């Protein structure tokens, strides 16, 4: 029966788990709006080229993790493993660079797919929330994007966080660093894993990110990217740090932070959870600058920076930190009906209540009065509206305030406006 269960690395999100998802989405979107970022939605699959070239064909993502398939027209398509390549593709395709409103500040959320080994915080389908800001090479924009990230986390109630930053430099700096890396690894190349030997040829920076060789003695002594930054790149990094200082956003510089995607230059950053007891994977969010990526998609020279986190990992962080999670809202009213006629009348009443915006429900299992009251309690209903044969004969209902225990008779014709007014009064009291 395996085939009738969840595929490995995926999950169902049941109603009781949805609230925290909605909370994270809401807070993230509202914060983005405060920073003047606008939402963009792109397809869940793209031509494989978009990721192969966008993310980079020396990355683990492209080499080992993509869900790639042929459609019936024999095109190679891929379920998106991340959002940046798609957003850049859309930016070029719709010539968003032509808009007078620059930089173009976008955010997105949706499922991403990577064929990885599942563990806590690592799924094969996960939901990213990300932002991309295109069209400015100011280090102030890098700081803004980080400020936005920290603001989202603060609003969610996360406190055990560490922002780690690095600079990979511009092309000239990267070439210098690449040469130094090759010189460093070449004599002992045969002691590295097969993947790293291939990386050596194509992109030696990737070696520093190897999951197998991370404890190899050559790693600790590898030349630092920060020692190979040219004047301009150092200046850029210095200005970013100065801006973060001004905003009083704490950070650590880690010259070993290289990130797993090929498109980065200058700024790279990750946000880690430092909550005691957080699992093995502590990275909550990753991002960086990708000047040059827009040209790769056939657009004009346009710098860009962004980040993405997965909602799954933020939930782990919220739970590990013991942040109070949102709880279900109770019903406004539960209609208790006794007898067939009353149940009919209750249907009509419910429909009217709901149209008036009152959150309400009734029994459909022909339960006894006591059990219907229990249901009202279970749904945390503020009011029980009781329709018995007696009441029905007089075209009224007994309305009971569940917490206070007070009750009164209200004419059916008056019930909807009466209840709305009561509920409004309660809201003002809260
Ligand atoms: P990334 O580092 O590959 O970067 O992923 C960003 C975040 O997505 C991670 O920090 C983690 O929160 C989440 N994530 C990645 N893989 C998984 C997984 N298998 N299960 C659960 N969560 C996962 C990017 O994707 C870049 N597009 C970020 C970016 C945007 N850079 C510039 N702009």
The continuous run of DSSP H or E covering 307 comes out as: strand 304-310
Report the separation in Å between the CA atom of 123 and the middle of ligand 1, taken as the mean of its atom positions.
11
Q: What is the DSSP letter of 333?
A: E
Strand, helix or coil at 72? Answer: coil
Q: Flag whether 281 is in a domain.
A: yes
The token pair that represents 378 in the structure block: 């279970």
Average model confidence (pLDDT) across the chain: 95
Q: Give me the CATH number covering residue 59.
A: 3.30.930.10
Q: Flag whether 70 is in a domain.
A: yes
Nearest CA to ligand 1 atom 16: 122
The token pair that represents 69 in the structure block: 């398939």
What are the pLDDT tens digits along the chain (430 aa)?
A: 678 999 999 999 999 999 999 999 999 999 999 999 999 999 999 999 999 999 998 888 999 999 999 999 999 999 999 999 999 999 999 999 999 999 999 999 999 999 999 999 999 999 999 999 999 999 999 999 999 999 999 999 999 999 999 999 999 999 999 999 999 999 999 999 999 998 898 889 889 888 888 889 999 899 999 999 999 999 999 999 999 999 999 999 999 898 888 899 999 999 999 999 998 889 999 999 999 999 999 999 999 999 999 999 999 999 999 999 988 899 999 999 999 999 999 999 999 999 999 999 999 999 999 999 999 999 999 999 999 999 999 999 999 999 999 999 999 999 999 999 999 998 876 6
Which domain range does residue 304 map to?
15-170+230-320
Distance CA 167, CA 318 (A): 29
Task: Say yes or no: 156 and 59 in one domain.
Answer: yes
Q: Which residues pair with 52 in a beta bridge?
A: none
* Distances 428 to 330, 385, 403, 423, 425 between C-alpha atoms, Å: 17, 22, 17, 9, 5
Q: Choose one of 292, 320, 348: the last residue of a domain.
A: 320
- Any ligand 1 atom below 6 A from CB of 56: no
Nearest CA to ligand 1 atom 20: 122
Total length of the chain: 430
The token pair that represents 113 in the structure block: 């797919």
Q: What is the DSSP letter of 309?
A: E
Q: Flag whether 385 is in a domain.
A: yes
Report the separation in Å between the CA atom of 389 and the middle of ligand 1, taken as the mean of its atom positions.
61
This prediction has a pTM of 0.94
Q: Do the annotations mark residue 42 as ligand-binding?
A: no
Q: What is the DSSP letter of 21?
A: H
Counted domains in the chain: 2
Distance CA 310, CA 323 (A): 18
pLDDT for 357-384, tens place per residue?
999 999 999 999 999 999 999 999 999 9
Q: Choose one of 320, 342, 372: the last residue of a domain.
A: 320
The token pair that represents 3 in the structure block: 């085939």
pLDDT for 35-75, tens place per residue?
999 999 999 999 999 999 999 988 889 999 999 999 999 99
Q: Flag whether 325 is in a domain.
A: no
Q: Flag whether 219 is in a domain.
A: no
| Predicted local distance difference test score (pLDDT) of residue 362 | 98
Rg over alpha carbons for the chain, rounded to the nearest Å, is: 28
Q: Do the annotations mark residue 114 as ligand-binding?
A: yes
User: Cβ(342)–Cβ(389) under 8 Å?
Assistant: yes
- Any ligand 1 atom below 6 A from CB of 287: yes
Beta strands in 1-94 (DSSP E): 38-39, 45-47, 67-70, 76-79
Q: Choose one of 320, 353, 369: the last residue of a domain.
A: 320
Residue closest to 287 by CA, chosen among 120, 96, 420, 107: 107
């Amino acid at each position: 029966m395996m085939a009738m269960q969840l595929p490995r690395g995926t999950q169902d999100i049941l109603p009781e788990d949805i609230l925290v998802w909605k909370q994270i989405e809401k807070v993230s979107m509202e914060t983005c709006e405060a920073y003047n970022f606008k939402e963009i939605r792109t397809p869940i699959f793209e031509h494989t080229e978009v990721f192969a070239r966008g993310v980079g064909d020396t990355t683990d993502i492209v080499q080992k993790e993509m869900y790639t398939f042929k459609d019936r027209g024999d095109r190679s398509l891929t379920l998106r493993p991340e959002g940046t390549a798609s957003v850049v593709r859309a930016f070029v395709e719709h010539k968003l660079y032509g808009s007078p409103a620059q930089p173009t500040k976008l955010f997105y959320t949706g499922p991403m797919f990577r064929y990885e080994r599942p563990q806590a915080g690592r799924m094969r389908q996960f939901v990213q929330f990300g932002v991309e800001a295109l069209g400015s090479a100011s280090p102030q924009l890098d700081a803004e994007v980080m400020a936005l990230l920290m603001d989202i986390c603060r609003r969610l109630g996360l406190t055990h966080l560490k922002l780690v930053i690095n600079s990979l430099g511009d092309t000239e700096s990267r070439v210098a660093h690449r040469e130094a890396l090759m010189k460093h690894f070449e004599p002992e190349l045969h002691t590295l894993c097969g993947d790293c030997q291939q990386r050596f040829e194509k992109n030696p920076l990737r070696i520093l990110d190897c999951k197998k060789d991370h404890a190899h003695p050559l790693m600790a002594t590898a030349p630092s990217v920060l020692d190979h930054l040219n004047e301009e790149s150092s200046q850029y990094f210095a200005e970013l740090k100065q801006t973060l200082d001004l905003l009083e956003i704490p950070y650590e510089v880690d010259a070993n932070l290289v990130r797993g995607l090929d498109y980065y230059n200058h700024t790279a950053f990750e946000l880690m959870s430092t909550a005691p007891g957080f699992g093995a994977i502590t990275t909550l969010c990753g991002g960086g600058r990708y000047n040059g990526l827009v040209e790769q998609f056939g657009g004009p020279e346009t710098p860009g920076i962004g980040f993405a986190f997965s909602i799954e990992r933020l939930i782990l962080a919220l739970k590990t930190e013991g942040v109070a999670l949102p709880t279900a809202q109770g019903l406004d009213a539960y209609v208790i009906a006794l007898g067939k006629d009353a149940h009919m009348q209750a249907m009509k009443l419910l429909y009217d209540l709901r149209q008036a915006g009152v959150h309400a429900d009734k029994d459909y299992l022909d339960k006894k009065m006591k059990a219907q009251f229990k249901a009202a309690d279970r749904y945390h209903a503020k009011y029980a509206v009781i329709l018995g044969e007696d009441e029905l004969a007089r075209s009224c209902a007994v309305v009971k305030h569940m917490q206070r225990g007070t009750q009164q008779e209200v004419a059916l014709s008056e019930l909807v406006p009466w209840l709305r007014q009561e509920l409004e009064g309660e809201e003002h009291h809260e």
